[in-house]
Structure 1
Amino acid sequence: MAAVDGLDALLGSRVALRHRIGERDGRPLFTDVVGELTEGGERDGVATVVVATRRGPVRVDKEAVVAVRAVPPAQPKRPSWSVVGRLEVLCADAWPAQADRPLGAWRLRAAGGFTGRANAALAAGDPGVPIPAALDAVRAFAAEHGITPRVQAPMGSPWSKAVAGEGWVLDAGHAAGAEVAVLVADLDRFAGADPAGVVLADRASDDWWEAALGDSPTPAQRHVLEPGPDGPSTAFGLARAGGSGDPAGVIRAAVVADHLHLSRLAVAPAARRTGVATALTAAAARWGREHGARWAVLQVAVHNTEALAFYDALGATEHHRYHYLVPPERNQV
């Protein structure tokens, strides 16, 4: 009975639970399960609990429980580097640079200096040449396009380690953040909020550009954010104060394969903490579902704790991180 009493106190926790499963030669048989514990209702008049294990839910009669204890949360399994690389490529496709030149599985990119993502060599695979030669190509491409030589690589990956092994260092001076969290979420979680007051369009209006950039777009900015028929399917969300007033917030959505890439979420100071950001995200998520996406993906600088907290509250989780690496002389102050 003591185990049953302790059971109720641990509902909602991750537990290790031992319970009877029968007898053999007159002796009781026991087994252990680990997972989140929830109330299971009655089965054949007997109260039960459910343990959500990695292999699926296990329903246990309360009277069969002989021991239970709380255990720490499971450590999340790190995705394989091939999975990380695929997601990095999808994000790059959703954020197309003006110049995008392949180097094996690397991509040399430039877009007039607009964002680090569109002006860095994406290292998410084998460049097909020795790393020193690949980095020479990164330098030459950067000089050709008048940008800083920079490599974007998943943190801890073999590609990041190989570039760092050649002396390249963290781009600590990168104003937008040298380390970025890549977040993912089930699109249904994002789509659950009320999107009232948000209008989505397949082209960005002057008001959208003003709210997102503070000015009219440069050719590079327009190419990245509104790439046209050769780029991904995109939508531009705009919310107005009171439904018809000045812009209260904007968001950009792009569908690549089965992922919805969300970016440029911005809310006017007077409209913050009023649900505008949630409504914009929900509207974009519903649009993404209609266009075949199942998952949301976002790239958020790790120093942007407010944005990370917002997406965490909506159910997003960190998939991996990437960082920007530059030649050592570029990082000297």
Structure 2
Amino acid sequence: MLRRQDVGHRVVVRRIVGVSQDRPLFTDALGELVELTETDLTLATAKGTLRVPLKDVHRAKRVPAARRPPAAEVAALELAANDGWPAPVQARLGAWILRSAGGWTGRANSALAVGDPDRTLDAAIDAVERWYAARGQRPLVNAPMPLAAPVNAALDARGWTSRPLTLVQTARVPGLLESLPVRDDLPPVELADSPTDDWYAMVAEHKGTLPAMAKQVLTGVPVAVFAHVRDEDGDLLAVARGAVSGPDRWLGMALVQTAPAARRRGLAAHVMRAVAGWAMQQGSARAYLQVEERNTAAVALYRKLGFRTHHTYLTREAPV
């Protein structure tokens, strides 16, 4: 049977669709597992999204993807993402990166377990616990899969828990521009080098109160853009942030948000297209974003735009 670690990967599901002459009838479905709950699983297939009750599943397993990214590629993307979401306080533990941003977002307040920590795993985890305890923070570890499978096993043995699985998804920037429609019927997207007060306010509605360190995370990237869409009265309808980082000039898309009263108008795609166009001018050819696998609406939207899961990660929490 499938596990949460299989979310974001290609799987085949054999399910029961009926009974004939007292014998069950089966059909197979192949696709990307986008959600797994206690009662259902959801696949993104070539024909669309398919939700299957677990009671109807006869067998299910992960199957090889057309191409699994090499470990070095996963590590490079994680390091680029770290540069695109930079914690103000960082320290090295061998190749691991210890990060703190006053508790704002898991990414900026977790140890990135990529590479060799230059000591045994148990000693590395001890060091992580001491570093965060000294800052009055609960220790967190960001464990990319399958790269950090040994780290996850060691954390399991010590009773660490997991936050919801996160999908790291990628797409070609030129492909995004082709798939994202030009919307002349919507207000234009304004691109700025720094956020406005109401941009911060809209982000805070989703991410919680923004401490000073949060603003350092958002603005601490040399090549970044902040997208705004306003109505004719000047009220903010949608926002997004783009950041180009790493030797390969990855575009990191984040904080794509729409005002509640303005949803279902295509504004999210509208701001993403503007950010993708800006990134092309910065020499970026590939984009990534990070989305929780349980956010099925966002996963479905990003799939429609051409994003596919590159790898996944778990944010692990130390026992209280």
Aligned positions, number: 248
Q: Percent identity?
A: 36
Give 2:202's aligned residue: 211
Which runs of 5 or more residues in structure 1 are unaligned? 1-72
Name the SS for the 1:199 alignment partner.
Answer: strand
Cα distance in 2, alignment partners of residues 83 and 74 from structure 1? 18
- Relative to structure 1, the CA distance from residue 216 to residue 139 in structure 2 (aligned partners, 3 Å threshold; closer, same or farther) is closer
Is 1:248–1:267's contact at 8 Å kept on the other side of the alignment? yes
Is 1:183–1:317's contact at 8 Å kept on the other side of the alignment? yes
Give 2:317's aligned residue: 326
Name the SS for the 1:165 alignment partner.
Answer: helix
**Residue 215 of structure 2 is aligned to residue 222 of structure 1:** yes
Q: Name the amino acid aligned to 2:234.
A: G
Is 2:91–2:99's contact at 8 Å kept on the other side of the alignment? yes
Q: Name the amino acid aligned to 1:104.
A: G
The structure having more radius of gyration, on CA atoms, is 1
Cα distance in 1, alignment partners of residues 152 and 302 from structure 2? 31
Alignment of 1:40-59 (within 5 A): none
**Residue 263 of structure 2 is aligned to residue 287 of structure 1:** no
- Relative to structure 1, the CA distance from residue 262 to residue 187 in structure 2 (aligned partners, 3 Å threshold; closer, same or farther) is same
Q: Name the amino acid aligned to 2:236.
A: P
**How many Å apart are 1:171 and its aligned residue?**
3.4
**The one of 158, 162, 168 aligned to 2:151:** 162
**Residue 102 of structure 2 is aligned to residue 116 of structure 1:** no
Give 1:251's aligned residue: 240
Q: Name the amino acid aligned to 1:86.
A: A
Give 1:180's aligned residue: 166
Give 1:149's aligned residue: 139
Q: Name the amino acid aligned to 1:219.
A: A
Is 1:168–1:326's contact at 8 Å kept on the other side of the alignment? no
Give 1:315's aligned residue: 306
Is 2:145–2:314's contact at 8 Å kept on the other side of the alignment? yes
Give 1:20's aligned residue: none
Name the SS for the 2:142 alignment partner.
Answer: strand
Cα distance in 2, alignment partners of residues 107 and 295 from structure 1? 24
Q: Name the amino acid aligned to 2:244.
A: V
The TM-score normalised by the length of structure 2 is 0.73
Q: Name the amino acid aligned to 1:181.
A: L
Cα distance in 2, alignment partners of residues 151 and 170 from structure 1? 10
Which runs of 5 or more residues in structure 2 are unaligned? 1-62
The TM-score normalised by the length of structure 1 is 0.70
1:57-99 per-position Cα deviation (integer Å, ceiling 9, x unaligned): xxxxxxxxxxxxxxxx983221111111111111011000011
Give 1:262's aligned residue: 253
Give 1:80's aligned residue: 70
Is 2:121–2:154's contact at 8 Å kept on the other side of the alignment? no
User: RCO (CA 8 Å, sep 6+): is it higher in 1 or 2?
Assistant: 2
Cα distance in 2, alignment partners of residues 216 and 118 from structure 1? 15
**Residue 189 of structure 2 is aligned to residue 189 of structure 1:** no
